[in-house]
Structure 1
Amino acid sequence: MEKKRVVVTGLGAVTPLGNTVDSFWNNLLAGKSGIDYVTKVNKDDFPAKVAAELKDWDPSVYMEKKDAKRMDLFTQYAVAAAKMAVEDAKLDITDEIAPRVGVWIGSGIGGMATYEEQFHKFIEKGYRRVSPFFVPMLIPDMAAGQVSIQLGAKGINSCTVTACASGANSIGDAFKVIQRGDADVMITGGAEAPLTNMSFAGFSSAKALSTNGDPKTASRPFDKNRDGFVMGEGSGILIIESLESAQNRGARIYAELVGYGSAGDAYHITSPAPEGEGAARAMNQAISDAGVDLTAVDYINAHGTSTELNDSFETKAIKQVFGDHAYNLSVSSTKSMTGHLLGAAGAVEAIASIKAIIDSKVPPTINYETPDPECDLDVVPNETKAKEVNVALSNSLGFGGHNAALVFKKYNG
């Protein structure tokens, strides 16, 4: 069976750098940081003091207030980004096409804020005071469920939960749905709203978060003095569809999605496999699936979390895959500006990769001051680079040994 070509026709995002794709992208290119002192928890209670929060969030701009009250923040973010993406794609989901329009949106941990709030009510006042919407607000698949309800998309509806790879895996899984002909259009990406006491407590206990108290320099991927990631929140959503569907409706095409790789480490619950072995296999799979030469890849949006092992092992994985060409690549981490959006990271970074192709500009890795011999590739330090990008690869790696890679290509008809 011949695989269908898949193209990207719509983008939507709510991020710490702005609640539109344009503001997000422009701030990335300007090297601005969305990280500040955390306000959603008491910073004095934790060793980590900073986070990448959404600013000026008003769900009523995107949905009815009564609907918003029945959604956790991560679902609100997904609905907002999905509506933006559908509008951007000029996609009219009519009764006729609705069964061929699917939704696949991932989340790493789902409704953490809802869980904590309702648990306190249960402890203090008993089960009768727990909201009847508790479970539907909590479960990670509800972002996909609510987007489907809000937009009337009746095709395949699913959610991939692979920790910090959830957004990328969801896009890849949606890509395969279209390739095999099970849908014409997919609304896909990731969403996360993890800035809660228990999330801070858990990641702090695991010593995963940066304890650098300066918001301006806390997230510093590939820098020798990196000391952990900065947690963020938000959502990124793509509209992907078969080339035939896009052409039939005269859609604007941003880029072509050509490759997807996914591999397991089978090694450790939190630590990446030695030398980035699993990440390397995911990249190789994605490039093979894309049918492009290794030397055709111009840019890698790295997972680049600003943790000691991730950044060094990801660098080794890139060298293992690309050989000498690794030193011709631009390899930046936009997490230096957005923080780590966990299950939404891969989707937001896919958007950055697509925009790099469109605008021929590679966003920087900011806060890069002290080179690390273990991370010796071109990490696009501190300043945006003008560069023609014909093929971009986006990496996402998650707890549990999940590795995902996506390949986007300039659309040439």
Structure 2
Amino acid sequence: MRRVVVTGMGAVSPIGNTLKDIYKNLQEGYCAVDEITKYDTSDMRMKFACEVKDFNPEEFLDKKSIKRMDLVNQFGIVAAHKALKDSGIELDKLENLDRCGVIVSSGIGGLITIQKETIKGNKRGYDRISPFFITGGITNMTAALIAIELGFHGYCTCPVTACAGGTNAIGDAFRSIRDGYQDMIFTGGSEASITEVGIGGFTSMKALSEGETKDRASIPFDKERSGFVMGEGAGILVLEELEHAKKRGAKIYGEIVGYGATCDANHITAPDSEGRFAGKAMKNAIDDANINPENINYINAHGTSTPLNDQYETLAVKNVFGNHAYNLKISSTKSMTGHLLGASGAVEAIISILSLKNGYIPPTVNYKVQDENCDLNIVPNNGVYENIEYAMSNSLGFGGHNASIVIRKWDKQ
């Protein structure tokens, strides 16, 4: 089988819009939870979110294009341009563009456009909504626009598997390259759902945190957790077949070596109470990597800060890793970034790769109250410098979607 390496990364996130800033904020345990500034929250219960700051799409897009796009598309395209620049790829020198693809997820798509144009239609009539309503709202458009920007004619698709989408995108890209269908894929996820209808919808289903202060809102694995905090942004990784990367002299961040995906087939929102199929996704990823569970040093957990997820994910890890579960470091960086829905797996894969490259395991911040059902080493409050060879990143989505990837540190093997 062909080997698949990561040769570029780009992100727009609540904890930074460059790899340097993201890593710095991970080291400092920076928490992006803050008061929502995008709209007036005075009549809404949820006041907090993890918003992207200092976002400037005009660095890569003209004003006319920006007006025609939803924010979710802008996030994804900007992250893709950052990944392109980071990769050192010269587009005019690429051959076989029909073997270069894009797999980018979004959980919800252009929710800002959908809300805005629905309100307009109610007021002015639906024949007068924007001609860019459909293209701004449909979930696949970020992937399509990135392909247009790059001129890639290969496989282009958008996994829509709720909060597992970003990891499914990376795993599907990994398999597509490994199995010989593509040579290079820009992959990841983008999300922009901090809107009244997005926050209101998750609030009404009691999925969001009820924490009254910023430092007690997104608290994964803490006994007082009550829900997640919405985040936004995008993460894009350049995956490339190893010899293709070597041929152009690419720098290599890490190697994707395993992928597992399963479905609970259980409930529209609640995870399987025994963590069986989340565990099966982890086990499949480990087997796919042809390693033993004991080889995994760090897990970037899905760790949403919801009561059920954190307990059942902990149980799944125990079922898969046995006694080694207590030797693992398993942190949730959603304590810092919030939950980016379909983009979360992509940003967390980038974080995992930075952890491998720099020998630094980020913490689960704002942790205070121990939960006997979440008794693994969650790296509470302070990160740990440790040389690690293999990291796993988990994503679990509404509908029972489970996805895990295994990433290996690159040392010129």
* TM-score above 0.5, yes or no: yes
Task: Give the structure 2 partner of residue 155 of structure 1.
Answer: 154
AA aligned opposite 1:62 = F
Task: Give the structure 2 partner of residue 131 of structure 1.
Answer: 130
**Any idea what the Cα deviations from partners look like across 1:121-160, whole Å, max 9, x if unmatched?**
1111113321111111111110100001112122111100
Across the aligned residues of Structure 1 and Structure 2, the Cα RMSD in angstroms comes to 0.9
Q: Is 1:63 equivalent to 2:61 in the alignment? A: yes
Displacement of 1:67 after TM fit?
Answer: 1.1
Q: Is 1:140 equivalent to 2:139 in the alignment? A: yes
Task: Give the structure 1 partner of residue 5 of structure 2.
Answer: 7
Displacement of 1:161 after TM fit?
Answer: 0.2
Does structure 2 retain, via aligned residues, the 8 Å contact 1:14–1:21? no
**CA–CA separation in structure 2 for the residues paired with 1:69 and 1:244:** 40
Could you say what secondary structure the match of 2:405 adopts?
Answer: strand
AA aligned opposite 2:48 = V
**TM superposition score normalised by structure 1:** 0.98
Displacement of 1:58 after TM fit?
Answer: 1.9
Task: Give the structure 2 partner of residue 27 of structure 1.
Answer: 25
Displacement of 1:43 after TM fit?
Answer: 2.1
Task: Give the structure 2 partner of residue 387 of structure 1.
Answer: 386
AA aligned opposite 1:270 = T
**CA–CA separation in structure 1 for the residues paired with 2:256 and 2:95:** 26
Task: Give the structure 1 partner of residue 409 of structure 2.
Answer: 410
Query: Within 5 A, what are the aligned runs for 1:64-213?
Result: 64-94=62-92, 96-213=95-212
**Any idea what the Cα deviations from partners look like across 1:358-411, whole Å, max 9, x if unmatched?**
000000000111111100000000001011110000000000000000100012
**CA–CA separation in structure 1 for the residues paired with 2:128 and 2:226:** 42
AA aligned opposite 1:89 = S
Q: Which blocks of at least 5 consecutive residues in structure 2 are unaligned? A: none
Could you say what secondary structure the match of 1:207 adopts?
Answer: coil
Does structure 1 retain, via aligned residues, the 8 Å contact 2:357–2:410? no
AA aligned opposite 1:301 = N
Q: Following superposition, which runs of at least 4 residues in structure 1 exceed 6 angstroms of deviation?
A: none
**CA–CA separation in structure 2 for the residues paired with 1:112 and 1:179:** 34
Task: Give the structure 1 partner of residue 216 of structure 2.
Answer: 217
Does structure 2 retain, via aligned residues, the 8 Å contact 1:275–1:316? yes
**CA–CA separation in structure 2 for the residues paired with 1:195 and 1:166:** 18
**CA–CA separation in structure 1 for the residues paired with 2:60 and 2:341:** 23
Task: Give the structure 2 partner of residue 293 of structure 1.
Answer: 292
Does structure 2 retain, via aligned residues, the 8 Å contact 1:46–1:204? no
Among candidates 51, 68, 75, match of residue 53 of structure 1: 51
AA aligned opposite 1:99 = D
Does structure 2 retain, via aligned residues, the 8 Å contact 1:93–1:153? no
Displacement of 1:8 after TM fit?
Answer: 0.4
AA aligned opposite 1:345 = S
Task: Give the structure 2 partner of residue 255 of structure 1.
Answer: 254
**Share of identical aligned residues, percent?**
51
AA aligned opposite 1:314 = E
**CA–CA separation in structure 2 for the residues paired with 1:48 and 1:56:** 23
Does structure 1 retain, via aligned residues, the 8 Å contact 2:367–2:380? yes
**Any idea what the Cα deviations from partners look like across 1:33-77, whole Å, max 9, x if unmatched?**
111011223222222210000112221112111111111111100
**CA–CA separation in structure 1 for the residues paired with 2:308 and 2:19:** 31
Task: Give the structure 1 partner of residue 332 of structure 2.
Answer: 333
**TM superposition score normalised by structure 2:** 0.98
